[in-house]
Amino acid sequence: MENADLSHHILSRFNADLEQLRSNVLQMGGLVEAQLKLALQALLEGDSAAGDEVVRAEYEVNAMQVSIDDECSRILATRAPTASDLRLVVAIIKTVTDLERIGDEAEKVGYIASHHAALERPAEHYRVMRHLGRVVQEIVRDALDAFARLDARTALEVAKHDRLIDEEYDAAQRQCITFMIEDPRTIRHAIDMLWIARALERIGDHAKNICEYVIYMVYGRDVRHVSMGDVEKHIQALSESQGLASPAPATD
């Protein structure tokens, strides 16, 4: 399942079903990505309208989750998919759950941000959020790209980047604590920033999960709760045995 070979079924309706399913997931991914972007805009620019928009978009994301899950059940019941088709459907059922959660977390960020839009906005509180936000946006975009292209190697690289986010989250926490100690009047604000940092860190985790589903789809290996080093070795061995180009060397 190296390349997206959803077509070529003898049953053309089945081809169409799977293609439609996949494009719906990508559409949902796009929606969630836009939601995250708006949430960060609300946060960093004090744009309360953007924050409200994130909260509204949540409805649409939820509706897509339900309809995609529905479609998956229908395909399981009527087509009895096997092998890569089965893995695609299973991975999609899981992916939409994580996408919906990313939407939820973005909603939290948007909600808090729109409340803070009218308040005093100490610039140093936002600097670290800006950085964390950028890293998280990148990882979500790369995860969705990996999903769209069924690119397990990119997925592996992205999954490994999750550690970067955890480090950024730690830095954000430490900074918030420093603000609180320096000036107890900022505690309320700093706590909200902690909530936001937490939400962004969770988004990174969900993006990592999506990458793991991509690896499962392509290689048929469940790599959840497995050391990424082992996964890398496994993929390397598989690629060599199939005569494919070896994956790019690890960046971290």
Please report, as ranges, the residues that interact with other proteins according to CB under 8 A: 1, 5, 8-11, 14, 80-87, 119-120, 166, 169-170, 173-174, 177, 180-181, 184-189, 219-221, 223-227, 230-231, 234
Q: Which is nearer to other proteins, 56 or 188 (CB)?
A: 188
In whole angstroms, the minimum distance from the beta carbon of 214 to other proteins comes to 15
Helix (H, G, I), strand (E, B) or coil at 10: coil
Among residues 59, 60, 53, the alpha carbon closest in space to that of 36 is found at: 53
Q: Which is nearer to other proteins, 108 or 189 (CB)?
A: 189
Q: Which is nearer to other proteins, 62 or 178 (CB)?
A: 178
Give the list of residues 6+ apart from residue 243 with CB closer than 8 angstroms, or none.
Answer: none
In whole angstroms, the minimum distance from the beta carbon of 32 to other proteins comes to 25
**Contact between residue 152 and residue 146 where contact means Cβ atoms under 8 Å apart:** yes
Q: Which is nearer to other proteins, 149 or 188 (CB)?
A: 188
Backbone angles phi, psi at 163, to 5 degrees: -60, -35
Q: How far apart are the first and last CA of the chain?
A: 27
**Contact between residue 44 and residue 130 where contact means Cβ atoms under 8 Å apart:** yes
Q: Which is nearer to other proteins, 56 or 185 (CB)?
A: 185
In whole angstroms, the minimum distance from the beta carbon of 29 to other proteins comes to 25
Distance, in Å, from the CA atom of 45 to the CA atom of 34, rounded to the nearest integer, reads: 16
In whole angstroms, the minimum distance from the beta carbon of 33 to other proteins comes to 27
In whole angstroms, the minimum distance from the beta carbon of 232 to other proteins comes to 10
